[in-house]
Structure 1
């Protein structure tokens, strides 16, 4: 469906990961070996938090319907800013049209959300799912994607108080609604959520065959293992990235996130825990 990455750590130019690695996000937009689609050219988006922004400050965003490899503004922008936490996404449209309001990440207040995957038979479920969204949130749904509806459902179910529980409750609501239509295997995906301080990255599907997801290994360990790799020494000790597929071929650099798991990164901790695991 799509490819994405999320970074948390010391302030970094987003271009370092989006453009400059061997298998960068832009490279994956042209050729994604692990993706459901090889080419992801139906628009892209970047959302980032300022390096000196106060807690609770809304992130900035840039969306375009251009293919990521074709947009000169993407290179200019990602080289001009530094951010301690940013999300980036390249899109392969399934059914919703190619338009800026359908590009990820999505924003609500100081929260960002993005998704790779889909909700099966969303056109049949769309009305019921949208009616379950808090009426105060409903006007903020600007596009036509299942991902944006799921995000607002998660906010409705308490994502801002507890992101893991909020997204979990939203997904269970989708599955229950789909059961009423006789739709099986409805949720497929990997998801990223952030409030500007913490990053939550989820891998989950109803049938346990989710899209790929990886997190980077501990940076200090990598730098010690590969002392002559100059690119690794551009990163700070707290740097971590979560990606749809590895950004390099360096052995040990990326670790696969298990099924039904959430990876949590904040300035003081990194851990994984089960997510909706039966």
Structure 2
């Protein structure tokens, strides 16, 4: 499948998380111990909200079909910009072709979306799902992935007003269509969504065996646990990271997000809520 990272907090050079850690996202693209596939070399994407941008301004995107570990442009951009909120994603293609429009994250106006997982037997139910997309949104589907269709279903169901309810309704439609076609476990994945201010991170699968997902412990607590860890000085007190796998081996630095849970990250910290729990 894939691996991803989302950051929100004080403006930061993205390379601090994308490139520098012991087990960075770029390192995960070569070796992902907790992933369904150990190598994620079928392209990558980087989406960021610029520091100082006007409220409501759309994020910027850089996507490539190159392996993340081999792309100098990613290194240049990640070291040149500063961002208070960014997404990065490395892809292991599960069927749809390797092309830029199939690389995550996906963007619509001020929203970013990325997904690790799959809609099982997507081709069998694709027509039903695509026909459920708002006709006004359909022309903005550029690629061929199940993830982009899922994003557009969430937009159709009111993502911009209530992200948790909209993603839930989109997944329930996937499950209904899948079950109608004889697919036992239609939905698998972890999902990140943001409007540039708040970050929503979902962990859910029809089988109850979702892809791994973790978030960082708050920085003041980590500084108290590890007063001599110089690496923590790069982060402000409100820095928050959600990631497919821990970025380092510091005990207690990352907390696993539970099954059927959405973690909401905003200026006040993390808030966990049940999501489509049975």
Q: Normalising by structure 1, what TM-score?
A: 0.99
Q: Which shows bigger deviation, 196-205 or 265-274?
A: 265-274
Q: What CA distance in whole angstroms lies between the structure 2 residues aligned with 1:165 and 1:53? A: 28
Matched with 2:153 is 153
Q: What CA distance in whole angstroms lies between the structure 2 residues aligned with 1:191 and 1:261? A: 11
Q: CA deviation at 1:218?
A: 1.0
Q: Deviation string for 1:178-218 (max 9, x for gaps)?
A: 11111110000000000000000000001100000000001
Q: What CA distance in whole angstroms lies between the structure 1 residues aligned with 2:269 and 2:215? A: 14
Map 1:49-64; keep pairs closer than 5 Å.
49-64=49-64
Matched with 1:83 is 83
Q: Does 1:105 align with 2:105?
A: yes
Q: What CA distance in whole angstroms lies between the structure 2 residues aligned with 1:81 and 1:268? A: 25
Matched with 2:271 is 271
Q: Does 1:184 align with 2:184?
A: yes
Unaligned runs of 5+ in 1: none
Matched with 2:16 is 16
1:215 counterpart SS class? strand
| Pairwise CA RMSD | 0.6
Q: Are the equivalent residues in 2 in contact too, given 1:55–1:197 (CA < 8 A)? A: no
Q: Which shows bigger deviation, 220-229 or 208-217?
A: 220-229
Map 1:190-201; keep pairs closer than 5 Å.
190-201=190-201
Q: Are the equivalent residues in 2 in contact too, given 1:14–1:78 (CA < 8 A)? A: yes
Q: CA deviation at 1:268?
A: 2.7
Unaligned runs of 5+ in 2: none
Q: Which shows bigger deviation, 194-203 or 223-232?
A: 223-232
Q: Deviation string for 1:3-47 (max 9, x for gaps)?
A: 000000000011011100000000000000000000000000000
Map 1:1-278; keep pairs closer than 5 Å.
1-278=1-278
Q: Deviation string for 1:58-82 (max 9, x for gaps)?
A: 0000000000000000100000001
Q: What CA distance in whole angstroms lies between the structure 2 residues aligned with 1:248 and 1:254? A: 9
Q: Normalising by structure 2, what TM-score?
A: 0.99
1:231 counterpart SS class? helix
